[in-house]
Amino acid sequence: MTIMIQDPQTVIAPETNGKTQTYELNPFAIAQRQLDEAVEILELDDATHEMLRWPMRELRFTIPVRMDDGSVKVFHGYRVQYNDSRGPAKGGLRFHPQETIDTVRALSAWMTWKTAVVDIPLGGGKGGVTCNPKELSMAELERLSRGYMRRVAGFIGPETDVPAPDVYTTPQIMAWMRDEYEAIHMHQAPGIITGKPLELGGSAGRGDATARGGIYTTREAAKVLGIELRGATAAVQGYGNAGFFGHKLGVDILGLKIIAASDSKGGVYNADGLDYDELAAWKQETGSVINFPGSTFISNEDLLELDVTVLMPSALENVITAVNADRIKAKIITELANGPTTPEADVILHDKGIYVIPDFLCNAGGVTVSYFEQVQNAYNFYWTEDEVHVRLDQKMTSAFYNVHEMAERMDVHNRLAAYLVAVDRVAKAMKLRGWV
């Protein structure tokens, strides 16, 4: 099949009748389309619909950073507060070379639905910087992180908007940002940011929370489908934090056999399974999973189409589209990434009987434990890791069945069901406040 990339946000692919079809890949346009479908079913009024389609507030700015060679480089930064009707905005910070205002808008929208679907008293926000952190020294990264906080320090706060780590950001970056915020405001504010190191008010259990929540929902999906996961095969597309812990916890909790994993440079395959400790050590040493001893190379595209029980897309947006959805063979798709599946692909996968655990349900473990961190910061008392795991399991399991039962009752695919649950909660909060 020949696929034409017209621009980074559009794919043109042939249909079965020989004609071509254009598919919109702009993440914010996709988020709006997903919302529109839910709004139509919920029969919300026009004002509520319009409020839900757009961010309430957004900030765009430049960050001049003195580089190690003495030059100054200017970076572009963003912070979007999408909707705070249910509580302070909450959402991560991404340092990524392809970051745009539309990716941040989309992710802030998905954060709004994510906090609502797991029923925690927060809204949705997101932030980012267009940069490649792999090309920055630690000193440059610290100056960029502090520069970002100087730009948003008057825009965020524990009771208004609380950032957290996301793609290519770390607990160390959160620590620098907390310190910068406190220097500006001249008081301690541990709740200004989550995903911090434990020594600075972080929560036990935060490191693997995104993947752990996804693993809990995968466990429940297998129950409703009658699938035995112990010994079943799985593939992980994207081997960052979420992908690595998806691998580890998929083995430790579910007994899965991970036969393929990939990163931006390509993937590795071994029918007998990949050891997560050895693979993580190899990536740490070499910078990529490729050429892992005992494995064969597999492309990211071929990995997605493997005949496995569980597929874990754990990288970036729009990897499962109308172009390749019909070739997906997994029984369960555990969406640890944000926005990996386009609306057209959702319909195809649903018709094929593939059970998709939608991103803003599946990967909500991260924001849930971030919320737990905020709670612990607020009363300066901290839980054990076991307590965090128990509370997270309760939240994720309850949210899973709310979405699953909505899908069954309304006869819709799971992503639409998750939207119906979340959007209804946000719309009711706005109406109770008298906004609409």
The tokens for 151 are 């730009």
Q: Please write the tens of the pLDDT for every residue from 378-400.
A: 999 999 999 999 999 999 999 99
Q: Mean pLDDT throughout 112-122?
A: 98
Q: Crossing angle, helix 171-185 and helix 138-152, to 10 degrees?
A: 50
Q: Give CATH 3.40.50.10860 domain extents, the chain.
A: 59-188
Rounded mean pLDDT of 170-190? 97
Is 126 an active-site residue? yes
Q: What is the band of 11 on the pLDDT scale with cuts at 50, 70, 90?
A: very low
pLDDT band at 292 (very low <50, low <70, confident <90, very high): very high
Is 0.85 topped by the overall pTM? yes
* Tens-digit pLDDT profile for residues 419-435: 999 999 999 999 999 99
Left if phi > 0, otherwise alpha if psi is -120 to 50, otherwise beta: which for 380? Answer: left
HSE-CB at 71 with a 13 A cutoff on CA atoms is 3
Return the amino acid letter for 71.
Answer: S
Cα Dmax for the chain: 66
The mean pLDDT value of the chain amounts to 94
- Numbered ranges of CATH 3.40.50.720 in the chain: 209-362
pLDDT > 90 in the chain, percent: 91
CATH architecture for segment(s) 209-362? 3-Layer(aba) Sandwich (3.40)
**Can you give the pLDDT at residue 318?**
86
Residue type, 333: I
Task: Return the ∠ at Cα 319 (arms to 315 and 324), rounded to 5°.
Answer: 150
Task: Indicate the burial class of 298 (C-beta count within 10 angstroms; 0-12, 13-18, 19 or more).
Answer: buried
Question: Is pLDDT at 13 greater than 60 in this prediction?
Answer: no
For the beta sheet containing 57-66, the strands, ordered from the edge strand earlier in sequence to the opposite edge, are 57-66, 72-83, 124-130, 89-96, 161-165
Average pLDDT over residues 194-219: 96
- Cβ burial, residue 161 (10 Å; 0-12/13-18/19+): buried
CATH assignment of 59-188, given 3.30.70.1400, 3.40.50.920, 3.40.50.10860, 3.60.15.10?
A: 3.40.50.10860
Q: Nearest 5°: phi and psi at 86?
A: -100, 0
C-alpha–C-alpha distance, residues 297 and 316, integer Å: 21
Asked if residue 28 lies in contact with residue 102, where contact means CB atoms within 8 angstroms, the answer is yes
- Rounded to whole angstroms, the Cα distance separating 239 from 243 reads 4
Which of 114, 126, 196, 283 is labelled catalytic?
Answer: 126
Fill in the DSSP letter of residue 133.
G
Judged by average pLDDT, the poorest of 22-26, 49-53, 116-120, 183-187 is 22-26
